Amino acid sequence: MNTESDIINFRKPAQKRAGKHSADTSRQVVKTDTLQGIYRMMLLIRRAEETLQKLFLDGKVPGFLHLSIGQEAVAAAVSSCLGARDTVSSNHRGHGHTIAKGVALEGFFAEILGKATGLCKGRGGSMHVADLKIGMLGANGIVGAGIPITTGSALALKLQGEGHIAAVYFGDGALAEGVVHECFNIAKLWSLPVLFVCENNGWSEFSPTDRQLATSLRQMATAYGISYDEVDGNDARDVRASAEAAISGMRSEARPAILECRTTRVRGHFEGDKQDYRHADEAAEMAARDPLLVTRRQLKSEGVADDWFAGLAETVEAEIDTALAAAFAAPEPNPNDILADVYTVSGGRHG
C-alpha cells in the first residue's frame, strides 16, 4: 500500500523553467487511413447528436440537452490516440467524448432516453453518461468537475506503472474555476500523466470568454510549467498530431500536458437557447469551419473516393437506427429499484 510519503516523493528535483512551454513539436504525419477512422467517428457523433436534437424537439428526451455539434474533431482525434485502459472524464457537453471513447451506442441512447438498459440505468441522462468498464469516468453537469476526477485517475494510473494516461475535456468557461488551478498544480508537482484538453469555443455559457477570464490558458500553462500546445480544434489532423505527440511522451515519462483546441460551438449553450447574443454573420463563418467538411476536403485531396463517403454514411445511419430502435424497445426503470446502487441508506433516507 502506498503511503502519503510515497506520493509526495513523486516530486522531482527543482529545475529551472524554460521561458516557453509547448508540447512536443516532433509531430508525426497523420496517415490517410488514420484520418479516415477519425472522420468515421466524427460522422457517428454528428449523426447521433442530430438524432438527439430531433428527439428533444419531439419531447422524447427528458431534461436539458447540450450538443457538441461543430466540436467533433477534438473528441474523435484525441480518442484515436487512447487505449482501452486509458481513462476519460467529460463535461456537460460530453456526448462526443462518450461515443469516441467507445461506449455501446444502444446503451448511450437508452441512457439519454431514461431507459432501464441505459449505461447508468437511465439515472444519469445526457449530462452524466458513464461506463467505467471502458474507462469512461463520466460526463459531469458541474463546470470543471471532471478535472479533479481525472487528476485522481492519473494518480492511480501512475501508481499502476503500466504507461496508461488520463484525459479530461473541459470548456474555456471552466478556466476561472479554482479547482482547475489546484489540479494543474498537483499534476505538475506529482508528474501525473493527465492530458488537459480545453475545447475553447469562445463562449462561457452566454458570454464571451474574455469577460470571464483575466488571463489565458497559455499563460496558466507557463505559470505551472506544464507543456502546452494550441491547435485548430476544427482540423482533426492538427488535433491528432498534437495529441499523439503529447500522449506518446506521457506514456514514456509520466507528466501532464495541456492541449488547447480552438473550436466552434454551433448550437446554443443548450437546446432552446435563442443565441441572440451572437453576431448574425457568425453562421457563415461556422459553416466554413465545419470539421467534417474540413476533413472531407483533406481526404478527397488524398484520393479518397466519393463512394467511400457515401458507403460510410449508410453504415453510420444503420448503426444509429439499430441502436435507437433497441433503446426505444427497452423497458422503463422500475420505481422499486430507486435505492439500488445508492451508497448508504439510513432511516428511510438515502445520501
In 3D, which of 288, 284, 241, 283 has the Cα closest to residue 261? 241
Cell of residue 46, nine digits:
454528428
Decide: 68 and 93 in contact? Cβ < 8 Å.
Answer: yes
CA–CA gap between residue 261 and residue 247 (Å, rounded):
15
CA–CA gap between residue 310 and residue 59 (Å, rounded):
31
Question: Over the Cα atoms of the chain, what is R_g?
Answer: 20
Instruction: Give the mean pLDDT per block of 10 residues along the chain (351 residues).
Output: 39 35 61 95 94 82 80 94 94 88 92 87 78 88 86 96 95 86 97 96 63 84 96 94 96 96 70 60 72 95 96 96 93 83 60 43
Phi-psi region of 135 (alpha: psi -120 to 50; beta: other; left: phi over 0): left
Pairing of strands 207-208, 203-204: antiparallel
pLDDT value of residue 345 = 58
In 3D, which of 173, 299, 313 has the Cα closest to residue 235? 299
Decide: 267 and 18 in contact? Cβ < 8 Å.
Answer: no
Question: CA dihedral in degrees (33, 37, 39, 44; nearest 10)?
Answer: 160
pLDDT value of residue 148 = 94
Decide: 262 and 48 in contact? Cβ < 8 Å.
Answer: no
Buried b (16+ CB within 10 A) or exposed e, 110-120: bbbbbbebbbb
Provide the CB-side half-sphere exposure for 187 (13 A, CA).
34
The CATH topology of domain 22-273+283-331 is Rossmann fold (3.40.50)
Decide: 322 and 108 in contact? Cβ < 8 Å.
Answer: no
Decide: 256 and 187 in contact? Cβ < 8 Å.
Answer: yes
Q: Where are the domains of the chain?
A: 22-273+283-331
In 3D, which of 195, 231, 236, 214 has the Cα closest to residue 96? 236
* 3-state class (DSSP) for residue 250: helix
Q: Annotate 56-83 with DSSP letters as a single string.
A: HHTT-S-S-----TT-HHHHHHHHTT--
pLDDT value of residue 66 = 77
pLDDT value of residue 16 = 34
CA–CA gap between residue 221 and residue 145 (Å, rounded):
19
Cell of residue 133, nine digits:
468498464
